[in-house]
Structure 1
Amino acid sequence: MKKLGHLNRDIARVLAGMGHTDSLVIADCGLPIPDGVECIDVSLKIGTPGFFDVLDTVLADFKVERAVFASESLTQNTAVAGRAGQFAKTGVGIEYVAHEDFKRLCKHAKAVIRTGECSPYANVILHSGVIF
């Protein structure tokens, strides 16, 4: 049995296959999943698991170079906006785009991890960095 890293086999597989600049989405339960993009649905019920729970476990096992958030999160979800600010402190590039543009960008993701989160604009596109 795997001892370290992400235990969800689908998430671990996607993370292991990521190359530099590939993208992965962590989404609330309402974000539409584009056709042709793998959906790893970890939702159990409304609110479980939460966006931050899933984000933290992914970040523990994934090198992020850039993160994209919906600009609406700045006014509609201060918790997500606050976490975005924390990314900048660690050298991760931050970008904000309109939610409609965010949804279009999701079409290029390797996968979308769907959480049980039910707060507005609790979504992020993580672009893979390199570990060397």
Structure 2
Amino acid sequence: MLKNIPPILSPELLKVLCEMGHGDEIILADGNFPAESIGKDAIVIRADGHGTVELLEAILQFLPLDQYVEKPVALMKVVDGDPCKPTIWDSYKQKLNESGNDPAKIEMVERFAFYERAHHAYAIIATGESAIYANVLLKKGVVQ
């Protein structure tokens, strides 16, 4: 065990966060996301039983977001015609703000374009999040 490390961050996840370089992307995937099939070329980390909000909060303590791109955070846009209004996005914005990041720097990405980006992600964290459209992509920045 280590001091001051949130227990929600597994040793495997901490290792991945350390290995990632500037510009690498990581996905926090909800329970419906096809993490194993899309993540064939990525590291897939199981975080069953954990939600995306709690993981986002813990990760943002250690992972700098890319300051050289306009929008270092991406969310999966609601499919046209779907009446869903994802309230979890408000929690994401709150956690970004609390961590000193600008919640306005979120890109909304069409579902299949999000999947395509996930194909190239460094890692996908498969959570037990039950909210739909709860997938969030983070682009790693540099430590200054």
Query: TM-score, normalization: structure 1?
Result: 0.84
2:54 is aligned with 1:53: yes
Tell me the SS of whatever aligns to 2:106.
strand
Q: Which runs of 4+ in 1 moved over 6 A?
A: none
Q: Residue 100 of structure 1 aligns with which residue?
A: 112
Q: CA RMSD in A?
A: 2.1
CA deviations over 1:2-39 (Å, ceiling 9, x no partner): 22335411100010011111100001111112122111
Q: How far did residue 79 of structure 1 move?
A: 2.5
Name the amino acid aligned to 2:51.
G
2:73 is aligned with 1:67: yes
Q: How far did residue 80 of structure 1 move?
A: 2.9
2:2 is aligned with 1:2: yes
Equivalenced residue count is 127
Q: Residue 15 of structure 1 aligns with which residue?
A: 17
Q: Residue 91 of structure 1 aligns with which residue?
A: 102
Q: 1-side partners of 2:92 and 2:55: how far apart?
A: 15
Tell me the SS of whatever aligns to 2:87.
helix
Tell me the SS of whatever aligns to 1:90.
coil
Q: Residue 69 of structure 2 aligns with which residue?
A: none
2:143 is aligned with 1:131: yes
Closer, same or farther: CA 77–122 of 1 in aligned 2, 3 Å: farther
- For the 8 Å contact 1:50–1:115, the answer to whether it is kept is yes
Query: TM-score, normalization: structure 2?
Result: 0.77
- For the 8 Å contact 1:5–1:60, the answer to whether it is kept is no
Q: How far did residue 114 of structure 1 move?
A: 0.9
Name the amino acid aligned to 2:102.
G
Name the amino acid aligned to 1:63.
P
CA deviations over 1:71-117 (Å, ceiling 9, x no partner): 218x6343233245444782363211111111111011111111111
Gaps in structure 2 of 5+ consecutive residues? 67-71
- For the 8 Å contact 1:20–1:128, the answer to whether it is kept is yes
Name the amino acid aligned to 2:53.
F
